[in-house]
Amino acid sequence: MGELSAVYLSVHTPRYCTHEAAFAGKLAHPDFQAVRDGLVEQGRHVAAVRPDVIVINSCHLITTFPTVVDGTPRHRGVLTAQEAPELIHGVAYDFPGDYQLASALADRGRAAGRPCVLADDVHYPLDYGTVMPLVCYLDRTQTIPIVPVSVCLSADLEESFAWGRDIARAVGAADRRAAFVASGSVSHKLVRGPERWPGVEDQERDRRLAAMLADGEYEKAWRWLPEYVEASAPEMGGRHLAMMLGALLESGRRYAATVHAYGPSSGSGNYVISLGDGLRRTL
């Protein structure tokens, strides 16, 4: 039997996910340093866990009606981010895929009556919320197979949560030691000004959510999520958080937690949190 070995809440905002930020340490503002360093640590955590596959739910792989599970056996391309071509341009990626796991996951979704499409197409592009955290921080070797899963605008929190449950079930049945990555912000009330922080109340709610994750209170976090979404408007309506909580709860485990960092980007709040037995350091 496989298992969900680790779960990551990660960051993809272009301020952190550029070649300059990741490799040269050149950041536009000192407030970005903690998250950049946290992402480096999260990469070490992934290296320590060394999962067989990474299932990643990026807030920029957006579909309208079905959830898309990308089972393409090899994800190869060159990315220029549509909304930030001045920051993310010409990034080559070449990750193995996991068609078998993706297909099994899509089958589970369909069997449960959730609209779903399995992609298997070398021209299906990866978005920057998938590519940049992986290329710059979480798997710089690009050797761990990945299965991208979309955020679906027609899916509510319950449906997103159900996908998370099925991810944990599918990796168990497929005999994989898998990691799940939720790539997205927590509070997400965007404003112009890259260095701007969320408001005080939004920061407090973000910290409350992080504390629940760190304390293993996944059920409590799931019950609170609708209220949190209403108040703090997390990225993509919090669907990535719902999927993450579904995976956590279905695993039946309480993971060791490392809260690496929290920081701003254009009014959003961004946590770097690793759940699993990698490198442990709780801030």
Q: How far is the CB of 34 from Fe ion (least distance, A)?
A: 18
Tokens 């040269």 belong to residue: 24
Q: How far is the CB of 158 from Fe ion (least distance, A)?
A: 23
Q: How far is the CB of 16 from Fe ion (least distance, A)?
A: 11
| DSSP H helical ranges for 26-156 | 33-49, 99-111, 128-133
Quick one: 35 or 106, whose CB is closer to Fe ion? 35
User: Which token pair is 191?
Assistant: 């404003």
Cβ-Cβ contacts under 8 Å for 118 (sequence gap 6 or more): 68, 69, 71, 102, 103, 106
Binding residues for Fe ion, rule CB under 5 A, total 1
Cβ-Cβ contacts under 8 Å for 151 (sequence gap 6 or more): 57, 58, 59, 61, 62, 63, 160, 236, 239, 240, 243
What is the C-alpha separation between 104 and 106, in angstroms, rounded? 5
The H helix count followed by the E strand count for the chain is 8, 10
What is the C-alpha separation between 104 and 215, in angstroms, rounded? 31
Q: How far is the CB of 265 from Fe ion (least distance, A)?
A: 9
Stretch that binds Fe ion, among 56-64, 138-146, 167-175, 242-250 (CB under 5 A): 56-64
Quick one: 53 or 149, whose CB is closer to Fe ion? 149
Quick one: 59 or 170, whose CB is closer to Fe ion? 59
Q: How far is the CB of 184 from Fe ion (least distance, A)?
A: 6
Q: How far is the CB of 269 from Fe ion (least distance, A)?
A: 12
| DSSP H helical ranges for the chain | 19, 33-49, 99-111, 128-133, 157-173, 200-214, 218-232, 239-251
User: Which token pair is 34?
Assistant: 């903690």
Could you tell me which of 152, 160, 125, 156 has the C-alpha nearest to residue 66? 152
Q: How far is the CB of 249 from Fe ion (least distance, A)?
A: 25
Quick one: 59 or 152, whose CB is closer to Fe ion? 59
Q: How far is the CB of 91 from Fe ion (least distance, A)?
A: 16
Binding mask 12-51 for Fe ion (x = CB under 5 A): ----------------------------------------
Stretch that binds Fe ion, among 23-31, 58-66, 73-81, 130-138 (CB under 5 A): 58-66
Quick one: 59 or 91, whose CB is closer to Fe ion? 59
- 145, 96 Cβ separation under 8 angstroms: yes
Minimal CB distance to Fe ion: which residue?
A: 59
User: If DSSP codes are grouped into helix, strand and coil, which group holds residue 265?
Assistant: strand
Quick one: 176 or 240, whose CB is closer to Fe ion? 240
Stretch that binds Fe ion, among 59-67, 96-104, 166-174, 223-231 (CB under 5 A): 59-67
What is the C-alpha separation between 87 and 191, in angstroms, rounded? 18
Quick one: 62 or 214, whose CB is closer to Fe ion? 62
Stretch that binds Fe ion, among 30-38, 52-60, 133-141, 164-172 (CB under 5 A): 52-60
Quick one: 218 or 271, whose CB is closer to Fe ion? 271
Which residues sit at the interface with Fe ion, rule CB under 5 A? 59
